[in-house]
Amino acid sequence: MSLLEIKNLKTSFTTEQGMVQAVRNVSLSVDEGEIVGIVGESGSGKSQSMYSVMGLLSENGIIEDGSIVFDGKEICPIKFDGTQKEWEKYMESIRGNTISMIFQDPMSFLNPVLTIEKQLIEPILNHRKKLNRDQLHTMAVELLTRVGIPSPAERLKQYPHQLSGGMRQRVIIAIALACSPRLIIADEPTTALDVTIQAKILELIKDMRKNLGSGVILITHDLGVVASTCDRVYIMYGGKIVESGTADEIFYEGVHPYAKGLLACVNNPEVDDNELRPIPGSPPDLLAPPAGCPFVDRCEHAMKVCKLYWPKEKSLSDTHKVHCWLTEKGSI
């Protein structure tokens, strides 16, 4: 059984303009010891589907349908066995404990008036209450060492603003690791960082998986990041998953025009003067998403059927799945 199994998740947001259908029928799974990438543009629903898992949707967001099974237990609020209060209590008990999240912007996540140590031991205090001060301190030092922060004992006494951007992101990762979570959701953890630091943080995420055996979900829009870290990849577009497979399948045998288009428009500096073939247009407006494939308006192979119907999932191998009418084209 998978560590996390999402089936047909549907999440919407009520706004003044109408319902924004952010996540539409998303199914995905993550195993222990696996790094899974979710790739998509901003507004493709990749972050919102994970916020749905964490129970962190903003007030106007609701899960309309679907099931989320984490570690054998249903945690989707509409299917949860118990009242809303009990669900909230349960989510509190697993958040930061068995599931933890790494956010994009390290500065807004850390509390500026608390020392690094206070913030680091908070999840431990919340979830593992039987430790004394010395044990907590040793744990905090250990955590900072694990994420590669030099002279951890001094750093613990400092405040967030005294650290550089890369250091803060390491602290956030340390906080996420505090309770040895089984699933780590990293939401664009390196987008705000320089490439030199990004490489180190990605190494750290890979080490984490190796040492803890946790499952990792890495949300990103950068295929380069995925190539260097992920085992499996889900490509999301317009609130739907359009293709999924192992990293090799997606990068070398990609089928969906969006997945292929993403690769074609990334500059590969290994090649001199390679031509960039951008995907034309802009992502669909999810206030009124197209009935068929959300990518239809930007797709160079778009057909009449694409505008009308959403294609069924087609399995190309045990791991490689795609939703695209092009795969059916020959059979009619």
Partner 1 sequence: MEPILKVENLKTFFPVATSMFGKKKYLKAVNDVSFEVFENETFGLVGESGCGKSTLGRTIVKIYEPTDGKVWFEGKDVSTIKGDELKKFRKDAQMIFQDPYASLNSRMTVGEIIREPMDIHDLYPTSKEKDEKASELLEIVGLKPDHIRRYPHEFSGGQRQRISIARTLALNPKFIVCDEPISALDVSIQAQIINLLEKIQEERNISYLFIAHDLGAVKHISDRIGAMYLGSLVEVGESNELYRNPLHPYTRALLSAIPIPDPHLMRNREIAAIDGEIPSPLNVPSGCAFRTRCPMAMEVCAKDTPKLRKVGNSQVACHLYD
Partner 2 sequence: MEDIKLTADLFEPLSEEEKNSEFIAAKSKTYLQDAWGRFKKNKLALAGLAFLIVMTVLAITVPMFSPFEYDLMDLTSVNLMPSLLHPMGTDKFGRDIFVRIMYGARISLSVGFASAFICLFIGIVYGGIAGYVGGKVDMVLMRIVDIIYSIPTLLIVILIMLIFGSNIVSILIGLCATAWMGMARLVRAQVLSLKEQEFALAAYVLGASKMRILFKHLIINCMGPIIVNVTLMVPSAIFTEAFLSFVGIGISAPAASWGTLANEARSLIESHPIQIIWPVASICLTMLSLNFIGDGVSDAFDPKKK
Distance CA 209, CA 201 (A): 13
Residue 302 found at the interface with partner 2 (CB under 8 A):
yes
Instruction: Please state whether beta strands 321-322 and 314-315 pair in parallel, antiparallel, or not at all (unpaired).
Output: antiparallel
Q: Which range of residues in 55-63, 101-109, 137-145, 217-225 is near partner 1 by CB under 8 A? A: 217-225
Residues 6+ apart with CB under 8 A from 138: none
Q: Which range of residues in 72-80, 126-134, 151-159, 194-202 is near partner 1 by CB under 8 A? A: 194-202
Instruction: Provide the terminal-to-terminal Cα distance of the chain, rounded to the nearest Å.
Output: 37
Query: Residue 7 in 3-state DSSP?
Result: strand
Residue 62 burial (C-beta neighbours within 10 Å; 0-12, 13-18, 19+): middle
**Residue given tokens 């192992």 in the structure block:** 246
Q: Which range of residues in 48-56, 129-137, 180-188, 225-233 is near partner 1 by CB under 8 A? A: 225-233
Q: Are 240 and 48 in contact (CB under 8 A)?
A: no
If one counts every other C-beta atom within 10 angstroms of the C-beta of residue 266, the result is 14
Which of partner 2, partner 1, none has residue 197 at its interface (CB below 5 to 8 Å by kind)? partner 1
- Taking only Cα atoms into account, the Rg of the chain, rounded to an integer number of angstroms, comes to 21
Quick one: 138 or 282, whose CB is closer to partner 2? 282
Quick one: 16 or 270, whose CB is closer to partner 2? 16
Contact letters for partner 1, residues 79-98 (x by CB under 8 A): --------------------
Which of partner 1, partner 2, none has residue 297 at its interface (CB below 5 to 8 Å by kind)? partner 2
Which of partner 2, partner 1, none has residue 314 at its interface (CB below 5 to 8 Å by kind)? none
Residue 241 backbone phi and psi in degrees, to 5: -85, 120
* DSSP 8-state secondary structure symbol assigned to residue 95: B
Quick one: 210 or 312, whose CB is closer to partner 2? 312
Q: Which range of residues in 77-85, 136-144, 255-263, 302-310 is near partner 1 by CB under 8 A? A: 255-263
Catalog residues that contact partner 2 under the rule CB under 8 A.
16-18, 280-282, 284-285, 287-288, 296-298, 301-310, 312, 325, 328-329, 332
Catalog residues that contact partner 1 under the rule CB under 8 A.
41-43, 164-167, 194-200, 202-203, 221-228, 247-248, 251, 261-263, 265-270, 272-274, 276-283
